[in-house]
Chains A and B, each alone.
Chain A
């Protein structure tokens, strides 16, 4: 196709050292659009149940979409592979790497096989080669980026790479593009394949079918997000603080996972304003992001960690600090910097250390296990040395590098009871006992807990919802936090709509206000860019198709309703300090609601034949026939 997509896919076999350019099937563009959607169909077709995450046959797929490289794409890339637990492992980053891949002329890169020696992939338009990366192995993300720039002699080349965490197969390691990171676990698979980096330089452009209509459609989206004129309550705050905006609110509401979610709030918890006042030096933004400071550059100017500096793109890590009882921005930013340089996932770090702290306090782990580290909640001195041990997999760090879920299996002694993980992957910071729609969303997520698949989960300003708009849920009931009414229909809508938006792609953090429940602005810009004439029904159906395909992938791997759960603590224990009861049977009620609306079996959560046929997924249905019996 001439507009939007480049129509080319790059297949790289690391075992055979071959690079093949393939045409992207046109049928896929209509059925799955691109990015996350096309990544899904590639993974479904090529990495079946007989493939383990660390087999050479596992695929590591980088996907962009038709709107990538244009401003509304926001540089989002979907990275996908198979998780060691068997389910889909997907995440993404923003930044300049994705657009550059489009400018070089490729929509997707499929990595297969496994190299013996470390390599990196060099792409400069049509000049593509695998190069030796032995000298880069052991270098951190920023060092690798600099070294590649110097080596190829192109200062502007865009590099996506892993740090030492990925090399050492630390669980949930991410792929980094400078300070943009994503794909929890994809960095681990990349390290296993001995692929250190993908460096991309492109000189092409993304052509637009109707450029002037594109501009009008873009302005319509931008108007909703305009700082001076927005109707969305969160836009002004998000513009400067991103997720830190709600830091104090979460604490007051008891929504923090303080002390491994034993408590809902923390005294003297971190404050977002202090961060802005003392540490932030300049704004940072993703590719064509309409917000002024969705990311920020920070500097620690005094104290033990003076001189630490870095970028952050998501404030969520500050909420995760409460899991270990951390109250110091200095230490938190030092850990953030360590994670960013070495390619770690900060959520995995905090939830795993939080689990270890609880085990230590309960006597399951002793001073001998922890090599003398006094792992009590709030002990800030142990954190930085422990993170360094995890990166290098030294001693006690080697246990924690497996992640809380795997580490608990090794330790035993009932330590599994304190793990906060879903589908084997540590939680992010979203509260579940306090907000039922979050609990349902996280439980049914196909790639483990991932808030970007249903973000943002709050309603638009009621005054901006047109009275004639038909919604599949009642916004006033659905967004109430602690009842089960309308939650199934809300979460189904969030998943379907975000699946199609992530396939365009665009960044879910700009899906604010009315943009979150009205798909027409997105449809308009998609049609303007690609020259296709999708209807609203076709558009949202793509999202539903993607969600069902992902569910089918997990079903084929053995995942059933029993795996759509929340951690034991959320199900059984109240948040005592805030008198918030546990989820209990409420989750089951919401799951029934959700599966019924999806036409998935209530016992097994397998999609029904009629639903799959309605979504043109007959080939998926053929795979599931035997599993239904």
Chain B
């Protein structure tokens, strides 16, 4: 699980100390950095089931997206140690590759912390970051050129 708001300095230093003790090879993990960004699409749930059973079905992977009846809450519940059996062709596990909003990230704890901070700051200046994480969307848009226009 991620750091939540992570705004308190004490919490941060405690967390970083623990993560640094893990060593280089263990550093990267699955983080849920922005639970409010989850749109409930279940891409992570379905692709995790594919990784484990080569088929698509509920309750077969290590992630399940919890939803309420109203539609106000979507939250991936993760039961994963980060050691995905599927080869990470894109450098990240399939659940992260397929996540459209950037809710799930695969990184080390320090980067996860910084990303959460970045999200909170950018939300203030650009309301679209209520819908997608900054690391999934190049901002400012005006500086970006798609491949079709090159």
Contacts and interface: CB of A to CB of B under 8 A. Distances in A.
Interface of A: 69-71, 96, 100, 103, 142, 145-146, 149, 178-179, 202-208, 211, 215, 222, 227-233, 236, 239-240, 276-277, 280-293, 295-297, 309-311, 461, 463-464
Given A96-B42, A309-B72, A311-B71, A282 B130 contact: yes
Nearest to B60: A205
Contacts of A146: 69
Contact of A285 (B39, B55, B70): B39
A178 B73 CA distance: 13
A149 B69 contact: yes
Nearest to A232: B148
A231 B147 contact: yes
A293 B132 contact: yes
A283 B50 CA distance: 25
A280 B102 CA distance: 18
A290 B100 contact: yes
A604 to B, nearest CB: 44
Given A69-B57, A71-B46, A292-B39, A285 B100 contact: yes
A541 to B, nearest CB: 28
B46 A282 contact: no
A276 B128 contact: yes
Interface in B56-79: 56-60, 67, 69-72, 74
A264 B99 CA distance: 39
Contacts of A287: 41-42
B132 A289 contact: no
Interface of B: 36-37, 39-43, 46-47, 49-50, 53-60, 67, 69-72, 74, 94, 98, 100-102, 127-128, 130-132, 136-138, 141, 144, 146-148
Nearest to A284: B39
Given A231-B146, A240-B131, A290-B100, A205 B56 contact: yes
Contact of A310 (B71, B127, B147): B71
8 contacts: A149-B69, A178-B71, A204-B57, A205-B60, A228-B138, A284-B39, A292-B131, A292-B132
Given A277-B127, A292-B101, A205 B49 contact: yes
B143 to A, nearest CB: 12
Top 10 A-B pairs, shortest CB-CB distance: A205-B57, A231-B148, A285-B41, A285-B39, A293-B131, A283-B39, A461-B148, A205-B55, A211-B54, A292-B101
Contacts of A204: 57
Contact of B43 (A282, A288, A309): A288
A69 B62 CA distance: 18
A142 B69 contact: yes
Contacts of A280: 127, 130-131
Among B47, B55, B57, B100, residue most surrounded by chain A Cβ atoms (within 10 Å): B100
Given A228-B137, A229-B146, A230-B146, A288 B46 contact: yes
Given A179-B71, A282-B36, A282-B39, A276 B127 contact: yes
A299 to B, nearest CB: 9
B146 A283 contact: no
A283 B72 contact: no
B39 A103 contact: no
A150 to B, nearest CB: 10
Among B49, B55, B130, B131, residue most surrounded by chain A Cβ atoms (within 10 Å): B131
Contact of B132 (A208, A240, A295): A240
Given A282-B39, A283-B130, 15 more contacts: A71-B47, A205-B49, A205-B58, A215-B94, A228-B136, A228-B137, A287-B42, A288-B41, A288-B42, A290-B98, A292-B137, A293-B39, A293-B132, A296-B131, A463-B148
A222 B146 CA distance: 15
B16 to A, nearest CB: 29
A135 to B, nearest CB: 17
B33 to A, nearest CB: 15
A289 B40 CA distance: 10
A464 B132 CA distance: 27
A293 B148 contact: no
A178 B71 CA distance: 8
A464 B149 CA distance: 10
A513 to B, nearest CB: 8
Nearest to A150: B69
A71 B148 CA distance: 26
B100 A292 contact: yes
Contacts of B41: 285-289
A146 B70 CA distance: 9
A297 B72 contact: yes
B124 to A, nearest CB: 12
A288 B132 CA distance: 16
B63 to A, nearest CB: 13
Contacts of B70: 142
B128 A240 contact: yes
A140 to B, nearest CB: 12
Contact of A236 (B43, B49, B98, B141): B141
A423 B55 CA distance: 43
Contact of A284 (B71, B98, B132): B71
A407 B50 CA distance: 52
B67 to A, nearest CB: 8
Nearest to A210: B54
A103 B40 CA distance: 18
Contacts of A179: 71
A290 B99 CA distance: 8
A311 B40 CA distance: 12
A230 B69 CA distance: 34
Given A229-B147, A240-B131, A282-B39, A69 B56 contact: yes
Contacts of A233: 148
Given A205-B49, A208-B55, A231-B146, A293 B69 contact: no
B149 to A, nearest CB: 8
A78 B144 CA distance: 38
B55 A227 contact: no
B120 to A, nearest CB: 15
A264 B77 CA distance: 48
Given A206-B55, A276-B127, A284 B148 contact: no
B18 to A, nearest CB: 30
A285 B39 CA distance: 5
Contacts of A142: 69-70
A471 to B, nearest CB: 18
Contact of B58 (A178, A203, A282): A203
A229 B90 CA distance: 15
A293 B101 contact: yes
Nearest to A296: B131
Given A146-B69, A240-B131, A71 B147 contact: no
A103 B70 CA distance: 23
Contacts of B69: 142, 145-146, 149, 178
